[in-house]
Amino acid sequence: MSLSVEQRAIRDSRIFLITQSAKNGNSFSQNEYNKLLNLKVNRTNKFTIQDLFKRYWNNFTESCKRQKKPIRPAIIENVEKLIGCKDFANGYTFYECSSCDNISVVPFTCKSRFCPSCGVNSCIRVANEMPTRCLDVKHRHITFTISDELCPFFQKDRSLLDILFKAASNTILSWFKDKNKAEHFVPGIIATLHTFGRDLKFYPHIHVLIAERFFNKFSLFCVFLLLVVVYGLCFALG
């Protein structure tokens, strides 16, 4: 079986790396070799996250029913979208070139934030759009958290998560108002909610970016040295 141009290039790159390592008296790095093996053209196992859900999702939901552990409707909706992503049964777009006989059939995507493909594309789009909304100045990053005792209330009622945004905003604005009563600085704020920590446990917290330059009441573009401020949302909630 003949190799494609891309496959031959990968094969030749392997040979080159191994040869160079041998010449230098070094053993070929296993990490570098794993990187090559993980390239799409070299993957022998095409099993995807979508395949995992297709195979095990029904068993998982049945197990939750038996254990009387309800799954939130939002989770069910997004998983079902992921499973049906790029499934021709859910619709497709047919493209035909008016100048030649080339055609292309593209299945509809799920547009779910949970989907590894659609979700990443959405993140990239937002990341590219966000700088156009920000001042071209330095920004500071602050994280607002809540105490562990409050987490169960937010996990049970997700509508309470909006309070975290209000609490973070009120905390920042009230602090600026106290420190700049004469100037009336109004900071530029971008806030994002994360509902889980790095250990994947439910732990809602707010990440905030604050611009270091502001317009004051005289419409002057001023620099404000943002000091390190430690606030807990529990104070703002109170």
Q: Which residues pair with 209 in a beta bridge?
A: 141, 190
What predicted TM-score, i.e. pTM, was given to this entire model?
A: 0.62
Residue 156's pLDDT is 87
Residue 33's pLDDT is 62
Section 74-103 average pLDDT: 89
Residue 236's pLDDT is 41
Contact 184/216 with Cβ under 8 angstroms?
yes
With tokens 């005289």, the residue in question is 218
Section 167-173 average pLDDT: 88
Q: What is the pLDDT of residues 21-57, one digit of tens each?
A: 655 655 555 566 666 666 665 666 667 889 999 999 9
Q: Which residues pair with 190 in a beta bridge?
A: 209
Helix axes 30-37, 5-23, angle to 10 degrees: 180
Residue 227's pLDDT is 44
Q: What is the mean pLDDT of the chain?
A: 78
Distance, in Å, from the CA atom of 155 to the CA atom of 158, rounded to the nearest integer, reads: 6
Residue boundaries of the structural domains of the chain: 5-42, 49-116, 134-237
Q: Which amino acid is at 7?
A: Q
